[in-house]
Structure 1
Amino acid sequence: MSMTRLLCCLALLLALPLQPACAGLLQDRREARQLEQAGIRVLRDIAYGNDERQRLDVYLPANPGRGPAPVIFMVHGGAWVTGDKDNGSVALNKALRWVPQGVVLVSANYRMLPDTPPLAQADDVARALAHAQQLASGWQADPSRFVLMGHSAGAHLVALLDAAPEIATQQGARPWIGTVALDSAAFDVESIMQAPHMKLYDKAFGTDPATWQAASPTLRLEQPGTPLLAVCSTRRDDACPQARGFATKGRSLGKRVEVMGVDMSHRQINHELGQDNGYTRDVERFLRSLGVLRL
């Protein structure tokens, strides 16, 4: 082998561990360029607690419109054990779609398993919400016009706050105007744990029936509260039945609950929201009904 070829091989071998990091850096730069071109300013890693996971990002219009803006408060998924607020599928498409329409987007991290169980994660989300509401006026946003949105485990957490708003009140949060739960299959944790289920639920909810009940939005729901949209994948066996069970309980209490079944994967429900498609426009109809987007 020639010296030149040997050096080339060594260079490739040395570069291999760097490839994921380089790819991530290039992706970050692409996303930053897209946001800049759309006139979106990002405030990153605002602390709402002492843990490094207790951070939130804020996506702001570079030129705010007249009057305080509504806020969409996004909570990532990841089976209560992984995920991050600045993953492209969590915030980017939603920011590119809605911030230019005069909406402020907040994307929050929270502590996760194994150290922080879902009920404590809900406390983190509530604490992040309270902090965002406190800072909202400085962003020219309206602290009384927040919509909670979450995907997967994040959808479970925002649905839990919707069903049991006292969790949020105890962390200093003010009322919000609506909730969008993107493909949660955990509205009734107790029924999941009493039937054959994936191991991830054991890691999240353990063996104590009291915990199952406390972590179940359907079982915690006792008052009408604010409107909720539950988007669910018709490709999954459990997501839409769980959402319909919550809707039945909510409607019996006079709550406005909409269930939107979509022929999309669990990932697509998050990633494609904010793209120019019929699914996004259907979610936007719900947001418009709350006065969040312009008619």
Structure 2
Amino acid sequence: MSGTDAYPQYLKDVHYSDDSELNTVEICIPHSPSTTEKQVWLIFIHGGAWQDPEIDASSFRKTQELLLKSEDIKYISGLASINYRLSPYPSHPKDPSNPSDPSRNAKHPVHINDVLAAILFLQEKYGFEDRYILAGHSCGATLAFQVAMKRYWGSQYESTFALEMNVVPPMAVLAVEGIYDIPAMIKHHNRQPEYKEFVTNAFGSDEAVWKAASPVNGDYDDSWPDGTVVVLAHSYEDELVEWEQVELMYKALKTQGWEEGLEAPSKKRWMDWFELGGKHDEVWKEYPTELERAIKATVRMVMGKAPGIGR
């Protein structure tokens, strides 16, 4: 830190890995550690279709500043926003990717390995173990669920998965404008070839990999037995990711025994959906109060649910 007692304290461009210049994390410690209040970390994963260089960890800053001014910040002991290596995007109008740049030529499972490495770095540095909410926007929501899915794509890919890196999964996942069923998204946008293009750039052309990496196909009873809360936040105004994705993920969780709402405190695993306002990127860019609302709602769910957490 800065060596002073002033808060909040910010750390930018902190390297969690030497694999590329994009293997960094932004960290904010909002206040001095509390000995009377049980708190959680909030970790954010940005979107951008696994490839957009104009969307990075800084996309969380506006929302973070709102959270720092809110009453709910007393429940949050730290905030972090993760950068990760991106897939090729040679047609980007302002910053096309170069084939020789290791930060801009990532293929699955590099993205999720980077996210895991960042979370492990934070867990080892700050010791919060599972006491964190993992939030993600768009493909960042996909990555958040993939952390909970663990070895989700089958044994033939395990050698490239970094053996889960001893990462402790989160208590809760907040998925915002997320992609949960990749094949269904491709089918929905079959007249928009750019969707298949960015998926192929990120995952290759094997549709079995698309299916295996989709959060709707996770076995959360096996991979995430200690998960307590899932919130699916989405806007009906989203022009890029259809509401059908929420319905598919909601159905998949319900099939595995996740229950709706907080009306029964004895329930172990809660899920809920949260309606946002604005278009796909507007919920964090033009209207960061929308992402803030979803985060605060999730924090309050966790405060009411998790053993040992809360007032």
What TM-score range do you get, normalising by the shorter chain?
A: 0.7 to 0.9
Q: Which residue of 1 aligns with 2:8?
A: 40
Gaps of 5+ in 1: 1-35
Q: TM-score, normalised by structure 2?
A: 0.70
Q: Which residue of 2 aligns with 1:202?
A: 197
Q: TM-score, normalised by structure 1?
A: 0.74
User: What amino acid is aligned across from residue 48 of structure 1 in structure 2?
Assistant: Y
> Of 167, 174, 189, which aligns to 1:173?
167
CA contact (8 A) 1:163 1:218 kept: no
Identity of aligned residues (%): 19
Question: What per-residue deviation string (whole Å, max 9, x for no partner) do you get for residues 97-117 of structure 1?
Answer: 454544310111100111113
Q: 1:70 to 1:222 in 2, by over 3 A?
A: closer
Q: How many Å apart are 1:207 and its aligned residue?
A: 2.5
Q: Which residue of 2 aligns with 1:289?
A: 304
Q: 1:96 to 1:111 in 2, by over 3 A?
A: farther
> Of 186, 200, 206, which aligns to 1:193?
186
Q: How many Å apart are 1:129 and its aligned residue?
A: 0.8
3-state SS in 1 of match to 2:129: strand
Q: 1:168 to 1:91 in 2, by over 3 A?
A: farther
Q: In the comparison of the two structures, how many residue pairs are matched?
A: 254
Q: How many Å apart are 1:40 and its aligned residue?
A: 0.6
**Bigger shift: residues 93-102 or 125-134:** 93-102
Q: How many Å apart are 1:165 and its aligned residue?
A: 6.4
Tell me which of the two structures has the higher relative contact order, counting C-alpha pairs closer than 8 angstroms and 6 or more residues apart.
2
CA contact (8 A) 1:40 1:99 kept: no
> Of 209, 217, 220, which aligns to 2:218?
220
Q: 1:102 to 1:283 in 2, by over 3 A?
A: closer
> Of 210, 224, 235, which aligns to 1:233?
235
Q: Which residue of 2 aligns with 1:259?
A: 273
Q: Which residue of 2 aligns with 1:7?
A: none
Q: Could you say which structure has the larger radius of gyration?
A: 1
User: How many Å separate the matches in 1 of 2:249 and 2:150?
Assistant: 13
Q: 1:276 to 1:217 in 2, by over 3 A?
A: closer
Q: How many Å apart are 1:222 and its aligned residue?
A: 4.7
Q: Which residue of 1 aligns with 2:80?
A: 106
Q: Which residue of 2 aligns with 1:27?
A: none
User: How many Å separate the matches in 1 of 2:187 and 2:210?
Assistant: 10
Q: Which residue of 1 aligns with 2:264?
A: none
How big is the alpha-carbon RMSD for the aligned residues of Structure 1 and Structure 2?
Answer: 3.1
Is residue 33 of structure 2 the alignment partner of residue 57 of structure 1?
A: no
Q: Which residue of 1 aligns with 2:136?
A: 150
Q: How many Å apart are 1:285 and its aligned residue?
A: 3.2
